[in-house]
Amino acid sequence: MGAYILRRLLLMIPTIIGIMAINFAIIQFAPGGPIEQIIAKLQGTDVSATSRFSGGGGDFAGQQAQAGGGEGIGSKYRGAQGLDPEFIKSLEKQFGFDKPPLTRFGDMLWNYARFDFGESYFRDISVIDLIKEKLPVSISLGLWMTLLSYGISIPLGVRKAVKDGSRFDVWTSGVIVIGYAIPGFLFAVLLIVLFAGGSYWDWFPLRGLTSDNWESLSWPARILDYFWHLVLPLIAMALSAFATTTLLTKNSFLDEIRKQYVVTARAKGLSERKVLYGHVFRNAMLIVIAGFPGAFISSFFAGSLLIETIFSLDGIGLLSYESVLNRDYPVVFATLYIFSLLSLVVALITDLTYTWIDPRIDFESRKV
């Protein structure tokens, strides 16, 4: 197993480099970079996402006429006509764009290998501190949503397997399918309209993870306030999460119940509860439990952007989205690097969990 783990860890290096290289190359051709953002603010205009290398037109003629001179600059940045070339060069040096792309990419990889992510272009804070600041929101949503989903889906899936084909199985399947089909963000809007002062009841808060007076509350009151703010976002996020885990649990149990060792256990006079939870449960839960790390990471990052926006939760999803819009490349690449690394590590942990639950699985014999 040690050799397998070592191979997987070594394979993470070229995988991470490949992910970063592809995205770095895409960024080189993306319009509206940080320098264009600053130029647009100076000129009082917006940066168009479709024209980074604009060369003419009435707008530029007007800018040149107002600025006086600068016709010979030949800048590659839209709106830079009329600005001092030295000022443009100072901006390029400030953002590191005075170096060749390969040099910048190499420097970025070296810094990221040491977990040095630099500072945000447009916020007076280091990237790692900015991410730490947003982590509590994303961890709260991801952790509690995963626990809530597993805590309900596994017992429900077991019950559906035991009652396979019954009325209970049919109507719960209908509810699950309907819940899976409803987009989480639309259900979030419905929850706000119904329960957050939209049009009916004002039972739950609409913004943040805590109330404004949270610091002055006692510890029991703080805990209640924290979960009070989480109720609606968690319901909206977990609505569709029940389907996959519940049906996976049911099908795993049904597959195990039909095996010969279950028939033998029953023939020996064991109770149905002993058969289900003493013999079937461990084998049936192999896929479900082993997939827990991956499910947590998925709920951590996937689908949280719209929920964070709707409920005004300032987490990693919203940070990543705003960074892409603002071309805050240090934040964009840092979050990409961290998320990619976490995904690869979690994939390895998932495989190791399989072997821990079922020793019959041997990854050591695989090439990789």
**What is the per-residue pLDDT across 278-332, written as a single tens digit (0 to 9) for each?**
778 777 777 777 667 666 666 666 556 778 778 878 888 788 888 888 888 888 8
- Structure confidence at residue 368 (pLDDT): 47
Task: Report helix, strand or coil for 202.
Answer: strand
Q: Identify whether 124 is part of a domain.
A: no
Q: Which residues pair with 202 in a beta bridge?
A: 196
pLDDT mean across residues, the chain: 77
Q: What's this model's pTM, rounded to 2 decimal places?
A: 0.70
Non-local CB neighbours of 232 within 8 Å, separated by 6+ positions: 188, 191, 192, 195, 196, 204, 311
Q: Identify whether 216 is part of a domain.
A: yes
- Structure confidence at residue 19 (pLDDT): 92
What residue type is assigned to position 287 of the chain? I
Query: Which stretches of the chain drop beneath a pLDDT of 70?
Result: 1, 31-32, 37, 40-84, 198, 290-291, 293-304, 357-368
How many domains does the chain fold into? 1
Provide the strand spans (E) within 230-352. none
Q: Identify whether 230 is part of a domain.
A: yes
Number of H helices, E strands in the chain: 18, 0
Q: What is the rounded distance in angstroms from the CA atom of residue 282 to the CA atom of residue 245? A: 16
Q: What is the rounded distance in angstroms from the CA atom of residue 263 to the CA atom of residue 129? A: 57
Q: Identify whether 60 is part of a domain.
A: no
Tokens of 322: 């705003």
Tokens of 230: 């989480």
Q: What is the rounded distance in angstroms from the CA atom of residue 48 to the CA atom of residue 58? A: 15
- Contact between 3 and 324 (Cβ < 8 Å): no
Q: What is the rounded distance in angstroms from the CA atom of residue 81 to the CA atom of residue 335? A: 34
Query: CA dist 238 to 131, 201, 230, 309, 363, Å?
Result: 24, 22, 12, 16, 33
Q: Which residues pair with 119 in a beta bridge?
A: 126
Longest CA pairwise span in the chain (Å): 97
Tokens of 274: 């002993």
**What is the crossing angle of helices 127-162 and 316-326, to 10°?**
130
**H or E stretch covering 288:** helix 286-290
- Structure confidence at residue 13 (pLDDT): 92
Q: Identify whether 296 is part of a domain.
A: yes
Tokens of 255: 């597959």
Q: What is the rounded distance in angstroms from the CA atom of residue 74 to the CA atom of residue 367? A: 55
- Contact between 160 and 173 (Cβ < 8 Å): yes
Here the CATH number for the domain that contains residue 219 is 1.10.3720.10
Structural domain for 143, as ranges: 134-357
Provide the strand spans (E) within the chain. none
Q: Identify whether 82 is part of a domain.
A: no
Q: Identify whether 116 is part of a domain.
A: no
- Structure confidence at residue 75 (pLDDT): 53
What residue type is assigned to position 109 of the chain? L
CA torsion, points 101, 106, 111, 113, in degrees to nearest 10? 140
- Structure confidence at residue 77 (pLDDT): 61
For 126, phi and psi rounded to 5 degrees?
Answer: -70, 155
Other beta carbons within 10 Å of 124: 6
Q: Identify whether 363 is part of a domain.
A: no
